[in-house]
Amino acid sequence: MTNPTARPGGRTARIRAQVLDAVRAELAEHGYDSLTVDTVAARAGVHRTTVYRRWGDVGGLLADVYDAAGDDDWEPPDTGSLHGDLAALNEEIQAAMVMRPPIMEALIAASFRSEAAADAQRRLWEDRYVRCEVIVERAIGRAEIPPGTGARRLLVTATAPVYHHLVLLRAPLDPALPADAARTAVLAAVAGAFTEGS
């Protein structure tokens, strides 16, 4: 084990990285329509049989792109205030959405075509919302918002307008939106909008 590149796991991981890079690049450049196991294998420089055996089909490839995206040590922002955390989170979301090449946009579009991709996207977002719950716990700890504030509902309220604006309304980038949507969610939380039975 002195040479880490000789580990079987190393080769497998390297092939996975090459293949998933190829999926992202193909998606961003040509969209879902031209995404096939063969174009991905060719771009990755990997034998097509390897791709078929490991990922099965395009849905399997897309699902693994999502799974790889969730397999990180991402932590939500920790700025010292609820508004700061939510605004920073929304800035991250907005930056990912307008990134070029448009990988996130292409992945969302693909999720309307493939059940496997839709399931994987749902799992990734679920994981992200769970990781963000600490933002709300810290705010309760600082007595910024009432105890019992529901983290999930607060987080969806803060982030949904950013997705809605860019993904569904396809409106021009609004630089004020991340902070505005964060502030709206904070004011609603302070007013008790997310406490059970209130």
Q: Using CA atoms in the order 127, 136, 155, 191, what is the torsion angle rounded to 10 degrees?
A: 160
- Residue from 13, 17, 99, 187 touching its own copies (CB under 8 A): that is 187
- Residue from 82, 135, 157, 178 touching its own copies (CB under 8 A): that is 157
Of 23 and 158, CB closest to its own copies: 158
Q: Does 160 contact its own copies by CB under 8 A?
A: yes
Of 44 and 111, CB closest to its own copies: 111
Q: Does 163 contact its own copies by CB under 8 A?
A: yes
- Residue from 13, 95, 99, 171 touching its own copies (CB under 8 A): that is 171
Of 41 and 186, CB closest to its own copies: 186
Return phi, psi of residue 195, to 5°: -95, 135
Q: Does 167 contact its own copies by CB under 8 A?
A: yes
Q: Does 173 contact its own copies by CB under 8 A?
A: no
Q: Which two tokens stand for residue 89?
A: 């989170």
Long-range contacts of 70-79 (CB under 8 A, 24+ apart): 70/123, 70/124, 70/127, 70/128, 74/128, 74/131, 75/131, 76/131, 76/132, 76/134, 76/135, 77/135, 78/135, 78/138
Pick the stretch among 2-10, 16-24, 64-72, 121-129 that binds its own copies (CB under 8 A): 121-129
- Point out which residues bind its own copies (CB under 8 A): 108-109, 112-113, 118, 121-122, 125-126, 153, 156-157, 159-161, 163-165, 167-171, 180-181, 183-185, 187-188, 190-194
